[in-house]
Amino acid sequence: MDMDGVLVYEDSIVPGADEFIEELKSNNTPFAVITNNSIRTPRDLRARMLAIGLDIPEESIWTSGLATATFLSDQRPGGTAYTVGESGLTSALHEAGYILTESDPDYVVVGETRMYSFEAITKAIQLIAKGSRFIATNPDASGPSPNGPLPATGSVCALISNATEKDPYFVGKPNPLMMRTALRKIGAHSGHTVMIGDRMDTDIIGGLESGMKTVLVLTGISTKESIETYPYRPTTVMNSIAGLVGRTQHPFDD
């Protein structure tokens, strides 16, 4: 399941999310909470959710930073990278055996951050122009805030792409790669797994292309009206995660 817009919304728990998670635990149902936000580590995210009353084990959290580090470790073990991002990304790369450097890195990796530095973006452009491969944690162009949309990874990548004429490889949702690594993490098969999300353009299409059934909840980005603008549909639509409480074993039964 996605995190923001599904389990939490602007630092508040979505009603029913705690009951849903506890039901999964009591049924011994494996699950993963996946997020495109690479700012925080799983430990940080667990602490954030505990503070609002949601008990998610650290090992059940899968971020785009972790997925990116796993991908790069598989592609080029022990490689080097220059990062534009925060601890959720840099820690994941360190743990994957990567060296972070500004000197001729194998990859430039762009992730989410609270404050994008002009100097860091300039360095990323220069390194890509010299031949470093361009990787990004996720394609989200904007993120929510109490005052309106904020620029996110996809917007910064568009700036770098325009300057370098190089497009990044996005690891996070909707890339099925992130879904499949999460499936492997919990030892699950796509044919017996459900993806729950609040966005048609990341969660639902990512789940669909990974072979999973999908549940769209209306507590985040997508609305009943916006569903009709897409050429694909979720398996079912629910007002919130609370609609799955008591139905975790048979989510699609009427």
Positions annotated as catalytic residues are: 2, 4
Residue corresponding to tokens 């009427």 = 254
d(CA 4, CA 22): 18
Angle between helices 153-164 and 118-129 (to 10 degrees): 50
Cβ 38 vs Cβ 47: under 8 Å = no
Cβ 19 vs Cβ 241: under 8 Å = no
- C-alpha to C-alpha distances, 170 to 135, 153, 199, 213, 247, nearest whole angstrom: 6, 10, 17, 23, 34
Looking at the chain, the number of H-run helices and the number of E-run strands are 9, 14
Q: Counting every residue, how long is the chain?
A: 254
Give the ranges where 107-187 is alpha helix by DSSP (H): 118-129, 153-164, 176-186
d(CA 111, CA 170): 10
Residue corresponding to tokens 């635990």 = 25
Cβ burial, residue 252 (10 Å; 0-12/13-18/19+): exposed
Cis bond before residue 176 (omega within 30° of 0): no
